[in-house]
Amino acid sequence: MTTFYITTPIYYVNDVPHLGTAYTTIAADVLARYHRAQGHDTWFLTGTDEHGQKIEQTAKEQNKTPLDLANTVVNRFETTWKNLNITHNDFIRTTQDRHKTVVADIWNRLVDAGDIYLGEYKGSYCIRCESFYTEGQLIDKKLCPIHNSEISRISESSYFFRLSKYQDRLLEHFNNYPDFVQPESYKNEIISFIKTGLRDLSISRTSFQWGITTPTDDKHVIYVWLDALTNYISALGGPGTDAYKQFWPAQIHLIGKDILRFHAVYWPCFLFATNLPLPKTILTHGWWNVRGKKISKSLPATQVDPNHIVSELSSDALRYFLLREIPLGLDGDFSYETLIDRYNADLANDLGNLLQRTLSMTVKFCDGSVPLPSNHLPSISLDEEINQTTKHFDNNAPSLALETIWAIIRKTNRYIDSNKPWTLAKDPTNQDTVNHIMSTALNTLYYVAQLIAPVLPDTSITIQNKLGIEHPTVSWPQTPLSSHAIESNNTIECGSPLFPRIDQTRKEDLIAIWSNESK
């Protein structure tokens, strides 16, 4: 059986879940759900990064222990992922013993390889992103290029990893595996960075204690990024375990562009040094801005809580918007207005209207049950769209997959409009034709329910229930398609609209509610 292992970054517990972390996790969940629907043995990992100087500082400011701080924030992440219908198989925490054991093993492997030496680090360090920077990487020689905040000048004893030793091998890997970093623009960016020359990397600290102590020197804690990156294999039990043998190397590390260097430079070089396989693809997405501004704790207007949106709309509505609005890889700009406008246009008008009108006409013209199709009348051909949707998901392009699925929805609406079953039904001699039209539309909706399941899992189940399917399942459609995917005589459930349209008054009320909650 084909295996598929996908990971999100582990999220830093100095922050709470927001639009950006929700986007990453939803995107990974969508790809995991797609591969499960294809019958692949799928493992989906997420978790939290709980060590480092910033955690130690924040905990002290809040008069908490670092672990107490982490426990509080972890609960928020777990609650949010539940609300967003995330189907992760495991949640790794870097404070867990299972993780610490593997980190120590990786450290010892680096020592055995002769790639760690003791020295002194003098230079620039951003506590917020736990990253070292050269003078050339800083903004105005004093600001972090990611956070635009003041960096710290540090000088302390440190163990170093011989990163420079692996520069040529890493460039060779990029050449041999062109899909190692996707999309192409990010791959080119990281190759340019490597070609400027890799310097050996400081991988321990002595100025704080909240971290994993190095197994060879108890005065040092391991650099938080060496600690954090190891989660991808520590969650499997580490090298040699059954789960590791089954799922490593990962097919996809899904990350934001701000942490590309750690995943596409440091992580592969650590793996080179320990003689472990590299992940197949570092899939990199852009940033979500909010009304043109980068998400920031210091700007309340940019703090979009996904839980608030879910409570007023649904998890499916938010999942759809984030995956449909921009291609995975590009930056996006979020506003509550665009969220509601797309909800109304795509979910309420297109999908919701198609389902409601089809069910209503089936009740009215076919006694409320799924009729038999005819072998002599034309139906809707979907094979091309199904194959295209599959291709887009295989290429990690969910926005294009959704675009193709919505082409099926619009195609089905046109089919109903052009055949006018409401006119044909006035003459009883046309009943077979009406039955065929409604059967075609109902069966198409069944396939739509399967195709949208990775992104809109609750909606998929609801549609199948309305089609009279008592025990809904998700199985990816295989072409050529059957024209009779659902049982005839299934009792149709019309019920309330799938996505009630949001009028202008309700739209203004929702925007006011969400805007106040972010303050």
C-beta of residue 388 within 8 angstroms of C-beta of residue 404: yes
209 and 77 both lie in a single domain: yes
Choose one of 255, 286, 317: the last residue of a domain: 286
Residue 516 is predicted with a pLDDT of 81
In sequence order, what are the beta bridge partners of 152?
125
Task: Report CA 162 to chain centroid distance, whole Å.
Answer: 33
261 and 343 both lie in a single domain: no
262 and 340 both lie in a single domain: no
340 and 282 both lie in a single domain: no
45 and 179 both lie in a single domain: yes
- The verdict on residue 177 lying in a domain is yes
φ, ψ dihedrals at 372, nearest 5°: -80, 140
pLDDT-flagged residues of the chain (< 70) = 123, 127-136, 139-142, 146-154, 297-298, 300-301, 518-519
- The verdict on residue 411 lying in a domain is yes
Residue 68 is predicted with a pLDDT of 95
Q: How buried is residue 35: exposed, middle or buried, by Cβ count under 10 Å (0-12/13-18/19+)?
A: buried
129 and 198 both lie in a single domain: yes
Q: Distance (Å, rounded) from C-alpha 362 to C-alpha 367? A: 7
Instruction: Write the CA distances from 295 to 50, 139, 314, 483, integer angstroms.
Output: 21, 19, 22, 48
Residue 147 is predicted with a pLDDT of 62
149 and 11 both lie in a single domain: yes
- The verdict on residue 314 lying in a domain is no
347 and 277 both lie in a single domain: no
Q: How many domains does the chain have?
A: 2
Q: 488-514: per-residue pLDDT in tens?
A: 778 998 889 999 999 999 999 999 998
The CATH number of the domain holding residue 449 is 1.10.730.10
The CATH number of the domain holding residue 120 is 3.40.50.620
279 and 344 both lie in a single domain: no
Residue 71 is predicted with a pLDDT of 96
Residue 490 amino acid letter: N
Give the domain extent around 276.
Answer: 3-286
362 and 280 both lie in a single domain: no
- The verdict on residue 294 lying in a domain is no
Choose one of 225, 257, 286: the last residue of a domain: 286
**Helices then strands (H, E): number in the chain?**
21, 16
46 and 143 both lie in a single domain: yes
Residue 305 is predicted with a pLDDT of 92
C-beta of residue 448 within 8 angstroms of C-beta of residue 498: no
- The verdict on residue 328 lying in a domain is no
Residue 132 is predicted with a pLDDT of 64
Which residue has tokens 């050449």?
175
162 and 272 both lie in a single domain: yes
Residue 204 is predicted with a pLDDT of 95
Residue 495 is predicted with a pLDDT of 87
Which residue has tokens 């295996």?
3
Residue 14 is predicted with a pLDDT of 84
- The verdict on residue 374 lying in a domain is yes
- The verdict on residue 303 lying in a domain is no
Choose one of 286, 302, 325: the last residue of a domain: 286
Q: Distance (Å, rounded) from C-alpha 261 to C-alpha 283? A: 12
Residue 291 is predicted with a pLDDT of 84
Q: Who contacts 256 (Cβ-Cβ below 8 Å, separation ≥6)?
A: 9, 20, 24, 284, 285, 286, 287
Residue 426 is predicted with a pLDDT of 97
Q: Distance (Å, rounded) from C-alpha 194 to C-alpha 134? A: 14
Residue 519 is predicted with a pLDDT of 58
The DSSP code sequence of 270-332 is: HHHHTT-PPPSEEEEE-PEEETTEE--TT-GGG---HHHHHHHS-HHHHHHHHHHHS-BTB-E
Three-state DSSP at 480 gives coil
- The verdict on residue 416 lying in a domain is yes
Three-state DSSP at 251 gives coil
